[in-house]
Amino acid sequence: MNHFELRDGELFCEDTPLSRIAGSVGTPVYVYSSATLERHFQVLRSAFVEAGLKGEDGGPPLIAYAVKANPNLAVLATLARMGAGADTVSEGEIRRALAAGIPPGRIVFSGAGKREEEIRFALETGISEINVESEPELRLIARVALSLGRPARLAVRVNPDVAAGGHAKITTGGAGNKFGVSFSEAERLYAEAAADPWLQPVGLTCHIGSQISSLAPLEAAFRRMRELVERLRARGLPVLMLDLGGGLGVPYFNQPDPPSPADYAAMVARVTDGLGVGLAFEPGRVIAANAGVLLAQVLHIHERPEGRRFVVLDAAMNDLIRPAMYDAYHDIRPVRPRQGPSVIADVVGPVCETGDTFTRDRELPPLESGDLVAFMSAGAYGASMSSEYNSRLMAPEVLVRGRDWAIVRPRPTYEEMLAREARPPWLD
């Protein structure tokens, strides 16, 4: 459920009309709903608690929100107040999580290629765990921990060889993917780490893909993770926690309905029953996607003689790359729907690439130049993947709370964009 709905013929975010935000901030602009973020977090946590799942400390499992989905500080701070942790993949994300008030003890550091400085920063900050993705990385962490005189708490990322996800580019759990190590390697690395005084292996982690629409691959992967926990324990190695990653899909209109948080939690409870490990999760999309929209304005309706109709927006692939990159479907809704018959059109942006197409041959409600439209479910991997391609300014971000709203990332000025670059002395 989200808090974007039509009221009196106009699309609102909570108690704020979207047209008011667009009128004041301009378009394109990302708009997020605090109530939706909070609700999604709460629904997940309740599902985990009701299924009897526990975290390492015996309380509810750690929900380490995947910062990459939407790293805006205001979004992170909203979730921090709910008790969220953070799954991070760079020093930048760790710094964001800390700046938003997420305690280091709830931050995990994942990612297939961590730099030495980043590992040092993570250890100095005292984050909860580093998810080790490879043998060379384990060696590097051991070296940094030794040089700092601080033991590193680790979870070994296993690649369970179960591929899942809404698109090949967001599938991570196949043996051919770069992420994590095999089961046998994990067993060896875990034992090696346990023998190193500067390494503290405390558990295992996996993340098999994103936008997963069925529990079956998750369950298969988690069962294999359980077997590994049992094998490690049989060798006398302590395993205190399992971080089961993220990946739960959201309903993007034309996709199969994803599993509910309650069904997901019940499955995890079944698989981990009696195992006595603390659990952690790294959800991103399921918290943020439906908590945000990208607002854009129709610049032109362009009809080509061959009969194709193009709705040209002021938002482009640099603002929302998911359709170009993953053929992703985002519902496109007029902010003030007009009466009249629907039309078939392509919706495109102004960027100089044919790939700057949000959708083709979509049946759309009537639209005219100047109308505002909202790309729905754009709160995850929207702003966070945006760029300045074609020297377009990054879309600003707005957070709504009831009738209140605030710009949480302003649109930069052209002067700011140019001031970031410098001329080398020989061109002066």
Q: How far is the CB of 263 from ligand LLP (least distance, A)?
A: 16
Which position among 106, 226, 322, 330 is part of the footprint of ligand LLP (CB under 6 A)? 322
Q: How far apart, in whole angstroms, are the C-alpha atoms of residue 306 and residue 346?
A: 13
Burial per residue of 59-82, b for 16 or more beta-carbon CB atoms within 10 angstroms, e otherwise: ebbbbbbbbbbbbbbbbbbbbbeb
Minimal CB distance residue for ligand LLP: 246
Q: How far apart are the first and last CA of the chain?
A: 57
Q: Which of residues 56-85 bind ligand LLP (CB under 6 A)?
A: 66, 69
Q: How far is the CB of 283 from ligand LLP (least distance, A)?
A: 5
Give the catalytic positions in this structure. Answer: 352
Total residues at interface with ligand LLP (CB under 6 A): 22
Q: How far apart, in whole angstroms, are the C-alpha atoms of residue 364 and residue 362?
A: 6
Q: How far is the CB of 52 from ligand LLP (least distance, A)?
A: 22
Which of 326, 389 has the CB closer to ligand LLP?
Answer: 326
Task: Decide if residue 246 touches ligand LLP (CB under 6 A).
Answer: yes
- Which candidate, 97, 98, 148, places its Cα nearest to that of 120? 148
Q: How far is the CB of 129 from ligand LLP (least distance, A)?
A: 12
Which position among 14, 38, 87, 129 is part of the footprint of ligand LLP (CB under 6 A)? 87
Which position among 41, 264, 381, 405 is part of the footprint of ligand LLP (CB under 6 A)? 381
Which position among 61, 283, 323, 349 is part of the footprint of ligand LLP (CB under 6 A)? 283
DSSP 52: T
Q: How far is the CB of 370 from ligand LLP (least distance, A)?
A: 30
Task: Decide if residue 112 touches ligand LLP (CB under 6 A).
Answer: no
Which position among 160, 203, 247, 349 is part of the footprint of ligand LLP (CB under 6 A)? 247
Helices (H) and strands (E) in the chain, counts: 12, 20
Phi, psi of 305, rounded to the nearest 5 degrees: -60, -30
Task: Decide if residue 180 touches ligand LLP (CB under 6 A).
Answer: no
Piece in contact with ligand LLP (CB under 6 A), picked from 40-48, 270-278, 282-290, 343-351: 282-290
Q: How far is the CB of 328 from ligand LLP (least distance, A)?
A: 6
Which of 28, 283 has the CB closer to ligand LLP?
Answer: 283
Under 8 Å CB-to-CB from 327, ≥6 apart: which residues? 167
Q: Which amino acid is located at 371 in the chain?
A: D
Which of 109, 405 has the CB closer to ligand LLP?
Answer: 109
Phi, psi of 173, rounded to the nearest 5 degrees: -95, 10
Which position among 217, 245, 278, 323 is part of the footprint of ligand LLP (CB under 6 A)? 245
Q: How far apart, in whole angstroms, are the C-alpha atoms of residue 16 and residue 401?
A: 8
Which helix H or strand E contains 153, and what residues bound it? strand 152-157
Which of 225, 345 has the CB closer to ligand LLP?
Answer: 225
DSSP, residue by residue, 89-143: SSHHHHHHHHHTT--GGGEEE--S---HHHHHHHHHHT-SEEEE-SHHHHHHHHH
Piece in contact with ligand LLP (CB under 6 A), picked from 7-15, 276-284, 294-302, 417-425: 276-284
Phi, psi of 235, rounded to the nearest 5 degrees: -90, 5
Binding mask 323-362 for ligand LLP (x = CB under 6 A): ---x------------------------------------
Q: How far is the CB of 291 from ligand LLP (least distance, A)?
A: 13
- Which candidate, 96, 101, 45, places its Cα nearest to that of 77? 101
Residue 102 region by backbone torsions, left for phi larger than 0, else alpha for psi between -120 and 50, else beta? beta
Q: How far apart, in whole angstroms, are the C-alpha atoms of residue 240 and residue 262?
A: 24
Q: Tokens for 244?
A: 């089961």
Q: How far is the CB of 419 from ligand LLP (least distance, A)?
A: 30
Piece in contact with ligand LLP (CB under 6 A), picked from 189-197, 203-211, 307-315, 344-352: 203-211
Burial per residue of 250-279, b for 16 or more beta-carbon CB atoms within 10 angstroms, e otherwise: bebeeeeebbebeebbbbbbebbeeeebbb
Piece in contact with ligand LLP (CB under 6 A), picked from 132-140, 193-201, 222-230, 284-292: 284-292
Q: Tokens for 196?
A: 């190193």
Q: How far is the CB of 362 from ligand LLP (least distance, A)?
A: 19
Task: Decide if residue 284 touches ligand LLP (CB under 6 A).
Answer: yes
Q: Tokens for 37?
A: 């973020």
Binding mask 135-174 for ligand LLP (x = CB under 6 A): -----------------------------------x-x--
Q: Which residues bind ligand LLP (CB under 6 A)?
A: 66, 69, 87, 110, 170, 172, 207, 210-211, 245-248, 282-286, 322, 326, 381, 385
